[in-house]
Structure formats: C-alpha cells, structure tokens
Amino acid sequence: MNDTIFGKIIRREIPAQIVYEDEDVLAFKDIAPQAPVHVLFIPKQVHVPTLDDLKPDQAALVGKLVLAAAEYARQEGFAENGYRVVMNCREDAGQTVYHIHLHLLAGAALGYFGAAG
C-alpha cells in the first residue's frame, strides 16, 4: 500500500494539477515550485520508497520517468533552452515524500546547488 501523499494523488484521493499520464507514469505540478516550471514525475504502478530501494529489474521505471520528462520539455517548448531533473534520496538530500519522483525544473537559468553552509 502506497500510503504517501503521492499514493493518494495516484488514487485520486487528493487533487493535483496533472499535466501528463500514461500507463506507468503520472506527472503533476509541484505544490511549492522552485522554478517557473516545476513538475514531478512518479511511477504509478509500483511503490518504491527511495532510489536506494530500487531493484535491478525496476531500472526501466526510472528511464520512463526521464523519458516522460524529456518529452514534456519538448512539448512545452523549453527543451532547447534547457532544464534540470533531480531525484532526492533520503534525509540529506531533502527527500520528504517516500515514493520515488523525478523533479523537472525549468523556465529560468537555474542556480548551482550543493551542500548548505
């Protein structure tokens, strides 16, 4: 059972601004955007809490998230200017939702990020 907030979005128990969906992937706008475009791409059928839990036979899942994000970027017209994709794993990376997700950030020149302090 995917008891995370993203599980609830997949099951339509809570609303989200969905921008893309196929058999395996759901994408919706981040509720607290960190860039003019900030979309989250998540697997729909399988619950994997963190990247560290990903099994070799689930590798294609991450590829599907990346390909869906790249296609979205092309369709929305910002692929040529560029974008960033990020996956946070656990506490030190700031992961807050324990269902793997790919952040797509775009729409402005993005600053460098690294260790705080």
Interface mask (CB under 6 A) for ligand AMP, residues 7-46, using x and -? ---------x-----------x-xxx-------x------
Burial environment of residue 91 by CB neighbours within 10 A (0 to 12, 13 to 18, 19 or more): exposed
**C-beta of 5 vs 62, nearer to ligand AMP:** 5
d(Cα 23, Cα 45) in Å, to the nearest integer?
Answer: 8
Between CA 57 and CA 65, with CA 62 as vertex, the angle to 5 degrees is 140
Interface residue with ligand AMP, options 54, 79, 97, 107 (CB under 6 A): 97
Is 103 catalytic? The answer is no
4 binds ligand AMP per the rule CB under 6 A: no
